[in-house]
Amino acid sequence: MAIFKGAGVAITTPFKEDGSIDFDLFTEQIEYQIAHKTDAIIVCGTTGEASTMSHEEHIAVIKHCCDVVNKRIPVVAGTGSNCTETAIYLSQEAEKAGADGILVVSPYYNKATQKGLIEHFTMVADSVKLPMILYNIQGRTGVNINPDTIATLFKNVSNIVGVKEASGNISQVAKIMQLTDGKIDLYSGNDDQIVPILSLGGKGVISVLSIVAPEQTHDICSLYFEGKTKESCDLQLKALPLIDALFCEVNPIPVKMGIKLQKRDTGVLRRPLTQMEDDHAKRLEAEMKKFGVL
């Protein structure tokens, strides 16, 4: 059984002006998502600015999320690192904290070979009992996890159960599904490709759009699963201008602005991320209004 099916939100981490984590605000964000039909919470991912956190902060955020959610919906913890030992440590701590699964990005900057990726992911998976989702995003890591590498890991490591595919290459996604006999749990890592990936047998999306439009993102998936493919596709296409606006600057700069536009809050960004440009913020506001989330 998949860790989750539908729209999992790549939740942001709220920071106070002094740079510390605002756990009260984080609780509010978690409750907002659960109240608005989000199917799972993905914590400490790219959108959560995990790369700027100390190990202690990283673990504390995962634990807080698990405690607040309290098994109402699945929690998937981002535990990837460019250091295998660090990824193992974070994964083990996420398991202790009560996470339902882990999301492990390919090592960044190191640019491992495919053989190195197999060894890395196998060692991390073997260190825990939790189900693991691979995260393929070459644009941020500098290395692609090739379809045959994903298939090898899926077939040989029992708790590697899924992949978040953010390559944007739909042919590659199709190849992954062909090589795994359609059995791997496939999640879109791009909000503009939810329906195409569902059509290839995907289980859902790990979504930034869900942060500001949780019900609509859930509905894109649920409508598709109900056989209402036209309605699902129509909603996907309607969301495209807003999705484009949410990525007009590097994530999570725009989506944190989107939260503020909704009269909620997620605190400040951690450097090196900076405040959104005014013209981009106006564009985002206009698209949120058009999509009915403002």
Q: What is the pTM of this model?
A: 0.97
Q: Is residue 254 assigned to a domain?
A: no
Tell me the C-alpha to C-alpha distance, in Å, between residue 51 and each of 13, 37, 56, 134, 137.
11, 28, 12, 17, 15
155 is catalytic: no
Query: Total domain count for the chain?
Result: 1
Phi-psi domain of 165 (left: phi exceeds 0; alpha: psi -120 through 50; beta: other): beta
Show the 3-state SS of the chain. CCCCCEEEEECCCCECCCCCECHHHHHHHHHHHHHCCCCEEEECCCCCCHHHCCHHHHHHHHHHHHHHHCCCCCEEEECCCCCHHHHHHHHHHHHHHCCCEEEEECCCCCCCCHHHHHHHHHHHHHCCCCCEEEEECHHHHCCCCCHHHHHHHHHHCCCEEEEEECCCCHHHHHHHHHHCCCCCEEEECCHHHHHHHHHCCCCEEEECHHHHCHHHHHHHHHHHHCCCHHHHHHHHHHHHHHHHHHCCCCCCHHHHHHHHHCCCCCEECCCCCCCCCHHHHHHHHHHHHHHCCC
Set 5, 63, 164, 203: catalytic member: 164
135 is catalytic: yes
Residue 286: Cβ-neighbour burial (10 angstroms; 0-12, 13-18, 19+): middle
Q: Is residue 271 assigned to a domain?
A: no
Q: Is residue 260 assigned to a domain?
A: no
- Domain extent at residue 55: 6-228
Q: Which CATH number does the domain housing residue 74 bear? A: 3.20.20.70
Q: Is residue 160 assigned to a domain?
A: yes
Q: Is residue 251 assigned to a domain?
A: no
Q: Is residue 235 assigned to a domain?
A: no
Set 135, 187, 224, 256: catalytic member: 135
Q: Is residue 250 assigned to a domain?
A: no
Tens digits of pLDDT across the chain (294 residues): 899 999 999 999 999 999 999 999 999 999 999 999 999 999 999 999 999 999 999 999 999 999 999 999 999 999 999 999 999 999 999 999 999 999 999 999 999 999 999 999 999 999 999 999 999 999 999 999 999 999 999 999 999 999 999 999 999 999 999 999 999 999 999 999 999 999 999 999 999 999 999 999 999 999 999 999 999 999 999 999 999 999 999 999 999 999 999 999 888 999 999 999 999 999 999 999 999 999
Q: Is residue 12 assigned to a domain?
A: yes
